[in-house]
Structure 1
Amino acid sequence: MGASQSKSEEKVFTTETPISFSPDVVDRLAANVTSSEVPAERQLTLDGHVRARIQAEMARLRKEEEEVRAKIEAALEKENLDREKTLATDGDVKDSASLLNDLEEIKAKVERFQERKALVDYPELKGIQEKVLACYRNQPTRTLDCWREVNQFKVAVDQLEQKFVKSLQ
């Protein structure tokens, strides 16, 4: 059934007149066969298609990267919160908000200290310091005779230290 139809018959036609092609046609056909160049229009179409696929793949990868980053950040945040909760139950450790407040207080105190240090020159301390230096200069061979001036200087420094500590509290 249909076996006779599926047989391929080969028909050969012969002609008495020879067929000839012009050398231009032969050269053109030969150039197309041996040339691996793709026509410019086809190349532009292929390039556009490749660029579109690359852009789509890059967008997909960026989206995946953002999703992975978000998952990692969420996991780290959860881990930090869990750690803070376990440390807070111990009673010794403060949470991050209170630590930030403490840090801000310390920064403010340091800034106040720097302002005081820069603004106040402590003239009473300078006067006593000058007395000690004058005593040492006047008695280069008998420096032990300057004990009174040195004690006054020590007392003045101690008083300033106490004032400073009280100002920080």
Structure 2
Amino acid sequence: MGASNSTLHDSAPVTFSQDLVDTLADNAASPSPSPARQNTIDTQIRARIQAELEHLRAEDQAVRDQIQAALEKENLDRERTMAGDPDSVKTSPALLADLEEVRAKVDRFHARRDLSEYPALRETSEALVACYKNNLATPLDCWQQVDKFKASVAEIEKEHIKSLQ
């Protein structure tokens, strides 16, 4: 059983219709699939592309989250080192106190600039500024006002030194 070779002998020649031969030849000549098959392939490709895009977006978001966390840690570490004590970061009340201290220093600076206590100095200063404005091309013509201003400053310095003694 099955050990003998069976042979099939057909004595009639096999012939195909010309339409079948033409259809097979057209299909062999054009390697593109049918429109229905092409739709299926396109749908599968779009689905794969969409899945890959979602995967890449998720990876991108994960990387962004890691970068954000690293930057926050770096900023916190920098703030701690700037505060001097690595275990404490300045709080809002401490920062407000520092701001008030700076404001007080600015106010003291502006109070020192007030020349109302020294009318002679104020007058010579104003005369010097006016001379410079009037002689933009020849500022050396203001040498007399400069000497008067220097003399006023010297007088105020002497008074200040006497008040300290």
TM-score, structure 2 normalization: 0.51
Letter in 2 for 1:23: Q
Counterpart for residue 35 of structure 1: 30
Letter in 2 for 1:53: R
Equivalent positions of 1:1-169 (< 5 A) are 4=1, 10=6, 12=8, 14=10, 16=12, 18-90=13-85, 95=90, 98=95, 129-131=129-131, 147-152=143-148
| Deviations, residues 128-153 of structure 1 (Å, cap 9, x unaligned) | 54556779x9xx9xx5xx64333456
Q: How many residues align?
A: 125
Whether the 8 Å CA contact 1:128–1:153 is kept in 2: the answer is yes
Q: Is the alpha carbon distance of 1:39 and 1:126 closer, same or farther for their aligned partners in structure 2, counting shifts above 3 Å?
A: farther
Whether the 8 Å CA contact 2:128–2:145 is kept in 1: the answer is yes
- Structure 2 distance, partners of 1:154, 1:38, is 100
- Structure 1 distance, partners of 2:28, 2:19, is 14
Structure 2 unmatched ranges of 5 or more: 107-122, 153-165
Structure 1 unmatched ranges of 5 or more: 110-123, 157-169
- Structure 2 distance, partners of 1:96, 1:26, is 89
How much does 1:38 deviate?
0.7
How much does 1:52 deviate?
1.1
Q: Is the alpha carbon distance of 1:132 and 1:70 closer, same or farther for their aligned partners in structure 2, counting shifts above 3 Å?
A: closer
| Deviations, residues 73-114 of structure 1 (Å, cap 9, x unaligned) | 1122123323423442449xx749649x85xx89xx9xxxxx
SS at match of 1:82: helix
Letter in 1 for 2:83: A
Counterpart for residue 165 of structure 1: none
RMSD: 4.5
- Structure 2 distance, partners of 1:41, 1:83, is 63
Whether the 8 Å CA contact 2:127–2:145 is kept in 1: the answer is no
Letter in 2 for 1:12: L
Q: Is the alpha carbon distance of 1:57 and 1:96 closer, same or farther for their aligned partners in structure 2, counting shifts above 3 Å?
A: farther
Letter in 1 for 2:144: R
